[in-house]
Amino acid sequence: MSQYEVIYANKYRLGDFVKNITIEDNLGEISFRAVITLEYDESLPSFSLGERIRISGTPYGMSEMKPILYYGILWDIESDWKGHKELILTVYDLSIYLKSEEEFLFQANTTASSRFKAYMRVTSLPLSTVEDTKIKLSKALYRAKPIYEMIRDDLKETVLKGGDFYRVYMSTQGMELRKIGQNKDVYVFETDKNIENITQKRTIEGAVTRVKILGLAENDQLSPIKKVLDGDIQIGVIQKMIQEEVEQAEKSSENSEEYKKALQEQIIALDQAGKFDEAKKLLQKLAGTEKSTAGIEEQIAKMDQEGKYDDLIGLLQKISKSGTKDPSTIKKTKDMTDVAKNMLQGPSEDFTFTTVDINTIRAGDIIRLNNMELYVCSVRHELGDTGRMTITAGSKDYVKRSFYI
């Protein structure tokens, strides 16, 4: 392990006692994780949970030692007293604290990157690069939920609405939100040259072949089906359903057709409730929005004066059609077709292989495998002078269906 050093509590060097180190990184996990096995010795310091541990090493292709895991937190301690006495330390980077629960309310049209900054202010974690995710998200109310799950939901919505793939990283500068696949060095792996073993897995698991877009439901009624989109239904119907989203209601002009339509439904609702005086006032207001109002106003006044309330109700019903029940605001729904298309996924495949360790590779990096461009979904580094690593990688579509929808 001469290439690597483990420093505990910023002062104890543990390199002489280290038997092995494994580091794992996964797109589906909260945090970078390291497992350090130490040969027990009485000269070792007393370990405390929550204390800092730093792992440094020589990055692949370089000669100077640099931090590989800088913000490490001692999370678990196991002791094995059979045979050779060992201590097994499990270490996570600071992003593990995103397991903490909080509550947040975000208005519509905020982005995942602006929300990420809000999360970091609450956690007091060091903040570094935050890239602009650009896509405007829907209003969100998160109650008593782990912060990492909120981030994941924001990033999933970003992808479903046509945005890029982002993930949380911990660097030596602090927490980062960056687009995946931006690694400068793209390593090439080939089955007949630098791979020890490889397996390929193809599956229907996670496929989505039909998406139904549901409209807004009335009380105690099923949601109306607005649209159905089919993908590769030859493998069978695997269906997901999404609810139509309501855009922020905005004040409507009293001269607009939407406003008139809203008044009309309000009139019907008041009529059905037997509130004829209120309905009459709204009908007069509706008459006031027309270019020629004299005829309607005269009819209202005459029927009211003569007590012909049945005729007045008939007039209400004749003029009134349907619309929203709030005459002061108009609610519009968003077109969810593009979101539904993004959800359609057919069968997928991934590749898992073992090779010589390249200790700089992280989940989210792009690699090349037998002329295929793939994304690293998970990587396990077994550090050492002749280290090994195991990588699971898949296409961009595989990454989307596995981690972003």
The reported pTM is: 0.76
Specify whether 14 is located in the same domain as 63.
yes
pLDDT at 325: 42
159: in domain: no
Side chain identity at 382, as an amino acid letter? E
Q: How many domains does the chain have?
A: 3
Q: Choose from 215-219, 331-335, 341-345 the range with maximum mean pLDDT.
A: 341-345
C-alpha to C-alpha distance for 113 and 95, rounded to whole angstroms:
16
In the predicted model, is pLDDT for residue 246 greater than 90? Answer: no
Specify whether 229 is located in the same domain as 301.
no
Specify whether 309 is located in the same domain as 339.
no
Reported confidence tier of residue 48, pLDDT bands at 50, 70, 90: very high
Specify whether 317 is located in the same domain as 338.
no
199: in domain: no
309-319 vs 294-306: helix axis angle to the nearest 10? 150
Residue that wins the pLDDT comparison between 19 and 294:
19
Residue 89 · residue 47 · CB < 8 Å:
yes
Domain that holds residue 309: 250-330
C-alpha to C-alpha distance for 318 and 302, rounded to whole angstroms:
17
188: in domain: no
Specify whether 235 is located in the same domain as 337.
yes
pLDDT tens sequence across 168-181: 999 989 999 999 99
Specify whether 261 is located in the same domain as 231.
no
138: in domain: no
